Structure 1
Amino acid sequence: MQKFVVLADIHLVPEGKLSHGLDTLDRLNRAVAYVNDIHADADFVVFAGDLADHGEAAAYARFKTAIAPLTPPVYLTLGNHDHRPTFLDVMGPAHANADSGCIDHVIDAGDHRVIVLDTSDPELHGAGRLEARQIGWLKARLAEVPDTPVVIVLHHNIAPFDVQTDFIILQDNDAFADAVLGHAHVRQIISGHVHMTTSGTYRGVPFCTFAGAHYSIEPMSIARSGPIPAERGKYVSPVPRREGPGQLAVVLCNSDSVVVHMENFLDRHLVLAPELFAWS
């Protein structure tokens, strides 16, 4: 059996700052300690984006120091809060994939292939994108292993959830689904981004999301709360945001199945004050 851990939505800030009232460095330190205490036997750890809250160099420097004690090997990719050039300046150019130019990885672990995709595009103001060359790279990596089970990790959710954040999903989800459906054994798509725990299928592609290391959101259906306005910043969500849980995904793969456990490394559920989310 292969085991790996996925963390996401770290949202580190420079020293002396908080993210919506939360000490995200403390939360990352707790996650690292939890992995080392409980899952040191994992084959590797994937950080699936939103490593920094605003893509600052100082935040990436704190992140680099904080993850150094992790026992398993680490793979990184980016989300909508990240800034690729700054990330590469701090973390090193070797993190960029030579073929796609993004922070994409292919990991062959035991009998499975794990593909990690960078969906960061700051110009989309929260939504995600896979460039055409990334889709081509994904298709090629899938074609190399037609009989091998595959798990894909990316920051953005691939399907709308009938919630207020549906306007910031992976925009080219149909092109992504077409690529995935061309392979007979893609067993799971794992994402963060939405700060919620969900599971489902999109056009027959199985997916799940986990709440991540930042604040958590309780879903509220669009059908009960009205349409989403087109302009970013005009909408104030009535969904309560909670301090926790801080959550990671533990992925167990064998010849017959892929199982994803959502485990809480921090078990706090306090409601956060609305004034902490005065978006600028």
Structure 2
Amino acid sequence: MKFIHVTDLHLLPEGGALWGLDPFERFEACLADIQAHHADATFVAITGDLTDKGDAAAYQRLKERLARLPLPCHLILGNHDDRANFRAVFTDRPVDDNGFVQFAFDADGRTLLFLDTLKGPPSSAGLYCPARREWLAEQLDAADGKPVYIFMHHPPFGIAHPLMDKIMLDDPEDFAEILSGYDVRHIFFGHGHRAVSGVWRGIGYSALPSTNHQLPLVGGSVETVYSDEPPAYAVVHLSEEQTIIHNDAFLDRRPARMPVEAERDDWH
């Protein structure tokens, strides 16, 4: 199975710049590249911070753009989002019995779980409260032994980034306890505005840059808190044997300085 992972759009209600960059223009370029090169993907998953301030008008812009995308798109919320405004605009999107924007479905013999980790202002950290944990436990039981893949905004662990580790998921041990004993293969998350991958408690994980601005890996390496580094989306291939993730820096793909006819021989 092949799908696309995108995160941290930070869309504005109308045209304009966020930290010197146009988030909607960059998102448009991202979707155009996906449509041009990955129309065979099963779906697109966007893991939160859909908007920068949770404005209803920004969600409306997103809804109108996604209506023209010829791929299903699954959305969850991040700390910059507003749950009520999202639900008022995306009225057909699934929620759980408590109104949290989280849902599950099976695809190609796998269970995919999309979680709502929005805590709410003034905190930028994530929260997975008892009601949400109960829902997750039920979904893991319902998976009935199938491989499970989780999508969430906040990582439930530190990523060795001093700023982001202050605003990770608030209750990581409680979250980890729920996953214990299940065949959870991978966690896809956002929030960090960087390409990150590794293994946590035997579970693979990955994140990727925002489609707009990034966070420098080393504080002070640029003068500002945020940085202008290449945005990217991820192309994910799942099989029984492995998880393959390619990050594609869609705005920074240019021909090499070489003749177009060079390096066309049989390499194998």
TM-score under structure 2 length normalisation: 0.87
Instruction: Name the amino acid aligned to 1:136.
Output: E
Q: CA deviation at 1:137?
A: 1.0
- Matched to 1:197, the amino acid is A
Match of 2:194? Answer: 196
Q: Which range moved further: 7-16 or 77-86?
A: 7-16
State the partner residue of 1:227: none
Alignment correspondent of 1:238: 220
Whole-angstrom distance in 1 between the partners of 2:135 and 2:209: 28
- Cα distance between partner residues in 2 of 1:79 and 1:102: 12
Show the counterpart of 1:276. none
> 2: CA distance between counterparts of 1:34 and 1:128?
31
Give matches, 1:53-202, under 5 Å: 53-92=52-91, 94-123=92-121, 125-163=123-161, 164-183=163-182, 185-202=183-200
Q: Is the 8 A contact 1:43 1:109 kept in 2?
A: no
Q: How far apart in 1 are the matches of 2:186 and 2:133?
A: 17
CA-based RMSD: 1.7
Distance 1:98 1:157 in 2: 21
Q: How many residue pairs end up in the alignment?
A: 249
The answer as to 2:231 corresponding to 1:249 is no
Partners of 2:15 and 2:22 within 8 A in 1: no
Quick check: which one's strand share is greater? Answer: 1
How far does residue 96 in structure 1 lie from its aligned partner after superposition? 4.2
Answer with 1 or 2: which has the greater Rg: 2
Q: 1:66 to 1:28 in 2, by over 3 A?
A: same
Which residue in 2 is equivalent to 1:217? 215
Question: Structure 1 counterpart of 2:43, which letter?
Answer: F
- If each structure's helix is expressed as a fraction of its own residues, which one has the higher value? 1
Percent of residue pairs bearing the same amino acid type: 34
Residue 266, structure 1, aligned to residue 266, structure 2: no
- TM-score, normalization by structure 1: 0.84
Deviates more, 1:189-198 or 1:171-180: 171-180
User: What secondary structure, in the 3-state scheme, does the structure 2 residue paired with 1:9 have?
Assistant: coil
Work out the CA distance in 2 between the residues paired with 1:13 and 1:105: 26
User: What is the identity, as a one-letter code, of the residue corresponding to 1:110?
Assistant: D
SS at match of 1:66: helix
- Report the AA paired with residue 38 of structure 1: H
Long gaps (5+) in structure 1: 221-236, 269-280
Counterparts of 1:76 and 1:202, CA distance in 2: 24
